[in-house]
Amino acid sequence: MQANWPPNARIILHIDMDAFYAAVEELDQPEYRGKPLVVGADPKGGHGRGVVSTANYPARKFGIHSAMPISQAYKRCPHAIFVRGRYARYSEISTQVMDILKSFSPIIQQISIDEAFLDATGATNLYGPPQYIARKIKDAIRSQTGLTGSVGVAANKFIAKVASDLEKPDGLTVCLPGSEQTFLAPLPIRKLWGVGEKTAEKLNKLGMKTIGDIANVEQGHLMHMFGKWGLHLWQLSRGIDSRAVEQFTTRKSISEETTFEEDVMDYAFVEKTLFRIADRLSRSMQRKNLKGRTVTLKLRWQGFETHTRSKTLNEYVNDAETLRSIAVRQFRAMSREGRRVRLVGIGVSQLNTVGGEQLSLFGHQQSPQNEKLESLLSELKAKFGDAVITRAALMESKIRKPGSSKNEDSKN
Ligand SMILES: [Mg+2]
């Protein structure tokens, strides 16, 4: 497909490897190829417990699919080859695939072992139009790993994800910006994110079978039925999805802790220590351009018994005040009964790089104060298009103060 991509539209790719575990098995054991192959639990002659992880395409012809009880898969095709998963091997190839994706754009959000979103908005100068980028990615994956993946290309994540699934295996599906609604209309409502069996039934009863049916309903009608989520559903059905490709760091968590010289029973002192820890942690996160969603208090009592309490927020944070208040609240909620404290600490996990989606367009590190610049840039880009703005110039002249040192921490 060869058509023009509007210059202001984002370019989002969803890459999904085809029957991944099974494909890796076929890669490593050529004698499996072309035969029904099931990766999962031991079927034990039809009495096995556990489920199917992945079935290859020949096995799918027998109606075998992921998450099906292995005993049922055995009944459907007793002569299939059943193998246990070799997850270390899968993750090795997964790393290879993700590295290939990163070579096209650093803005990548890995969703699972074999699936990722890529924001290639800034990559057209290097790799050509979106459909070429997708083709090059597919070719690179095939030549470097011997496996195939399906790619969806669109202006947002939802459409890209739907698209990658349409022509599996080895698919390449492009939805041009502006044609989202036509693209989605004939598809069953189950393709909408978050629509499970029950919701689908409910909607079917109301005469809504395709995504187009939902798009044609009054927005208020869906909001009345499902509240805020109804609005979300309606927007998706019209192909509206502004979520960014969120870059997660490979780093899983960051923490700071203090062991007291002597076990402490003065809880006010413990809280003061938590204040200091929160400050330290916040500064360290800001230096590393990290924000996180889950804040964990760690507490070790005299005698080494250790407890943790976590709170997950709806947004990413790294400010001392938030870390502090969550940690203190959790500390106060613990049953303490006059016990002495040996160690306290705060950890933050579910990390994301500050500014996520825009981060690497600049080719170097962001600092928190750059978040404002980023949103300004997005606005300008939306108005005037990419070419009008020279990012480097903006960065140099307006943001970096003379003499201020650059961020020294490397990204994780
Ligand atoms: Mg897959």
If one looks up domain 253-350 in CATH, what number appears? 3.30.1490.100
Topology, domain 1-178: Alpha-Beta Plaits (3.30.70)
Q: Cα of 115 to ligand 1 centre, how many Å?
A: 6
Q: In the 8-state DSSP scheme, what is residue 188?
A: B
Structure tokens at 66: 């992921």
Element (H, E) at 297: strand 290-301
Cα(21) to centroid of ligand 1, in Å? 9
CB 271 within 8 A of CB 328: yes
Mapping DSSP onto H, E and C, the string for 48-96 reads CCCEEEEECHHHHCCCCCCCCEHHHHHHHCCCCEEECCCHHHHHHHHHH
Q: How far is CA 319 from the centre of its chain?
A: 23
Q: In what order do the strands lie in the sheet with 52-55?
A: 52-55, 37-40, 81-83
Ligand 1 centre and the CA of 53: distance in Å? 11
Distance CA 212, CA 185 (A): 4
Q: What is the pLDDT of residue 249?
A: 58
59: Cβ contacts below 8 Å, ≥ 6 apart: 22, 36, 37, 38, 73, 77, 80
Domain range list for the chain: 1-178, 182-237, 253-350, 356-399
Of the candidates 80, 38, 31, 68, the one whose C-alpha atom is nearest the C-alpha of residue 55 is 38
The type of residue at 59 is: A
CA dihedral 244, 245, 246, 249 (to 10 degrees): -160
Candidate list 25, 26, 115, 180, residue with the active-site label: 115
Rounded to the nearest angstrom, the distance between the alpha carbon of 67 and the centre of ligand 1 is 13
User: Tens-digit pLDDT profile for the chain (412 aa)?
Assistant: 446 899 889 999 999 999 999 999 999 999 999 999 999 999 999 998 888 999 999 999 999 999 899 999 999 999 999 999 998 899 899 989 999 999 999 899 888 789 999 999 988 888 999 999 999 999 999 999 999 999 999 999 999 999 999 999 999 999 999 999 999 999 999 998 878 888 899 899 989 999 999 999 999 988 888 888 889 899 999 999 998 898 765 667 899 988 888 899 999 999 999 999 999 999 888 877 788 889 999 999 988 888 999 999 888 899 999 999 999 999 999 888 889 999 999 999 988 766 443 332 332 333 344 445 545 555 555 555 544 444 333 333 333 333 333 332 322 2
Measured at the CA of 249, the angle between CA 244 and CA 253, to 5 degrees, comes to 120
Whole-number pLDDT of residue 38: 98
User: And the tokens for 90?
Assistant: 């899968």
CB 215 within 8 A of CB 203: no
Whole-number pLDDT of residue 338: 85
Task: Answer yes or no: 197 catalytic.
Answer: no
Adjacent-strand bridge partners of 18 = none
Q: Check: CB of residue 65 under 8 Å from CB of residue 51.
A: no
Distance 26 CA to ligand 1 centre (A): 15
pLDDT of residue 376: 57
Q: Options 3.30.360.10, 1.10.150.20, 3.30.300.90, 2.40.30.10; which CATH number does 182-237 get?
A: 1.10.150.20
Closest by Cα among 151, 325, 180 to 242: 180
